[in-house]
Chains A and B, each alone.
Chain A
Amino acid sequence: MSRNDRLFHPILATLQRELLLGLRNPGAVLNPLFFFVIATSLFPLGGSANPEWLGSIAPGVIWVMALLSVMLSMESLFRNDFEDGSLEVLLLSPQPLYFHVLMKVVGHWLLSGLPIAVLSPLLAYMLALPTVGYYPLIYGLLLGTPTLSLIGAIGTALTVGIGRSGLLLAVIVLPLCIPVLVFGAGLVETALVGLPVRGIASVMGAMLVGAVIGAPLAISAALRISVN
């Protein structure tokens, strides 16, 4: 095999495995989505069904709920692999761990962040978001949720050695996610008042690029620490 095959074949196998694991365990994939829909529906019930008020809070609510659903789904990223020893196999693979964890996060995002972005127009409609906000919401989520997954994966990798760590994960990861939330929701709000959004989208793109480059380093280091 050529040098490229020696790298690409194994990391694609890891991506494939991640997708298979997701499909084999539909609950882990669907529950965060259900949470996303249910928790968002609580706002009209707890607040008011007044479309004007709903429309004004819709960008923030949808983004906060997307952030929380991604965080909830993150716990499953390394948990089972840690318990059954597959994580050790991954750590001992001859290829750089960097690419394996990147592929795991990509696989995880395809089954968590992507469906959230796809579902978001439905919730936007229910929360009476003005129609000009739909596109910015969707592509904002497409740009932002992978960053959230990458940041969340750092937290997951740091806490995988600690039993039930859901709340701890939230405490350490949520503050780190604030910039994505601010720009994601801000993107929609800027579009609603009719201002150009390209600049904000570029900032989100830059954050994604930064996360893709930097986060796998932190995730790999954290995994090596956790599996000691």
Chain B
Amino acid sequence: MMQWLYKLGSPKHFYQMTSATLKPLSWITGVLMMVGVVWGLGFAPPDYQMGDNYRIIYLHVPTAMGAMGAFVMLALMAAMYMIWQIKMADLISKAIAPVGAWLCTLCLLTGSLWGRPTWGTYWIWDARLTSTLILLFLYLGIIALRSAYHSEKIAAKASAVLALVGVVNVFVIYYSVQWWNTLHQGASKLSASNDGVNPPEIWIPAFFCGFGVIGLYLLFIILRTRVEILRHERHSQWVQEMLLEEADL
């Protein structure tokens, strides 16, 4: 196990080990998404309350989970980089930040599409929407800080510190936004949460979509990390040899 982790910590081994996983992961993700989306959008029965509108949650919920999960993973990578100076952790966190920001954006977009027919408006200052918006701001700050530095080493360390400060803060932010929302009642009265028990025809496709988006998210991160590895290791022997081999083929 330790050996395996140690190997993942080396850019060369990470690159080689992920090479083999790319194809199966893409297939699994593709199948999950296809089944989930076709079943969910095409065949699942309409909701007795919201009609067909609810179907956006097949994308909305997984992106929301992904956006938050990505931030925790970003902070974990930042901590690993700061404590053990594992270069791989930084390359991964560099790859995660934009993916997380996109998931946040998608979550907000699908949320507002759902909000229009449900609440009658594309945007309300609902606690969850607001928290997601602030999470997006945090992602943008981390991306902006990293791109402001010319030196990659300083950029890596500075954005790791910011990610750690951000993850400590993110819980306080969620709590404060919850509280703020109860202080300004009104908005939350509109939230039409469906507490009824959903039939399996509704939630099984949601599972497919959920795992599909997770697969997609892993795929993006792995692909982006591989690009970062190539860029970072472009002068090393193994990359040069690999490129020569591919040129020969």
A residues with a Cβ closer than 8 A to B are 154, 158-159, 161-162, 165, 168, 171-176, 178-179, 182-183, 186, 189-190, 207, 214, 218, 221-222, 225-226, 228
CB distance from A224 to the nearest CB of B (A): 9
CA of A222 to CA of B172, assembled, Å:
22
B168→A172 contact, CB < 8 A? no
CA of A225 to CA of B144, assembled, Å:
17
CB distance from A96 to the nearest CB of B (A): 18
A225→B148 contact, CB < 8 A? no
Q: Out of A174, A189, A218, A228, which one reaches B137, CB within 8 Å?
A: A174
CA of A68 to CA of B161, assembled, Å:
23
Q: Which of B85-139 contact A (CB under 8 A)?
A: 134, 137-138
Residue of A172, A218, A222, A226 with most chain B CB atoms under a 10 A cut-off: A172
CB distance from B104 to the nearest CB of A (A): 12
- Interface bits B175-200 vs A (CB < 8 Å: 1, else 0): 11101100100000000000000000
B183→A186 contact, CB < 8 A? yes
B145→A228 contact, CB < 8 A? no
Query: How many inter-chain residue pairs (CB < 8 Å) link A and B?
Result: 75
A207→B183 contact, CB < 8 A? no
Q: Out of A154, A175, A218, A222, which one reaches B134, CB within 8 Å?
A: A175
CB distance from B219 to the nearest CB of A (A): 28
Q: In the complex, given contacts A178-B134, A225-B158, A228-B153, what are 4 additional A-B residue pairs having Cβ atoms less than 8 angstroms apart?
A: A171-B137, A179-B176, A221-B161, A225-B154
CA of A161 to CA of B151, assembled, Å:
11
Which A residue's beta carbon lies closest to that of B177? A182
B176→A162 contact, CB < 8 A? no
Which B residue's beta carbon lies closest to that of A200? B179
Q: Out of B137, B157, B173, which one reaches A225, CB within 8 Å?
A: B157
A158→B162 contact, CB < 8 A? yes
B142 / chain A contacts, CB cutoff of 8 Å: 172
Can you list 24 A-B contacts with CB-CB less than 8 angstroms, sorted by A residue number? A154-B161, A158-B145, A159-B145, A168-B145, A171-B137, A172-B144, A175-B134, A175-B137, A175-B138, A175-B166, A175-B173, A176-B138, A176-B165, A176-B166, A176-B169, A182-B176, A182-B179, A183-B176, A186-B183, A189-B183, A190-B183, A221-B161, A225-B161, A226-B154
A179→B169 contact, CB < 8 A? yes
Which A residue's beta carbon lies closest to that of B166? A176
B164 CB–A CB distance under 8 Å: yes
B177 / chain A contacts, CB cutoff of 8 Å: 178, 182
A161→B137 contact, CB < 8 A? no
A228 / chain B contacts, CB cutoff of 8 Å: 153-154
B144→A218 contact, CB < 8 A? no
CA of A225 to CA of B146, assembled, Å:
13
B140 CB–A CB distance under 8 Å: yes
CB distance from A14 to the nearest CB of B (A): 22
CB distance from B146 to the nearest CB of A (A): 10
Q: Out of B138, B141, B148, which one reaches A162, CB within 8 Å?
A: B148
Which A residue's beta carbon lies closest to that of B150? A162
In the complex, the 10 A-B pairs of residues with the closest C-beta atoms, listed nearest first: A172-B141, A179-B176, A175-B137, A182-B176, A225-B157, A182-B180, A179-B172, A158-B158, A176-B169, A162-B148
A165 / chain B contacts, CB cutoff of 8 Å: 148
B154→A214 contact, CB < 8 A? no
CB distance from A87 to the nearest CB of B (A): 15
B149 CB–A CB distance under 8 Å: yes
A179 / chain B contacts, CB cutoff of 8 Å: 169, 172-173, 175-176
CB distance from B194 to the nearest CB of A (A): 28
B158→A222 contact, CB < 8 A? yes
CA of A105 to CA of B177, assembled, Å:
27
Q: Out of A162, A174, A186, A207, which one reaches B149, CB within 8 Å?
A: A162
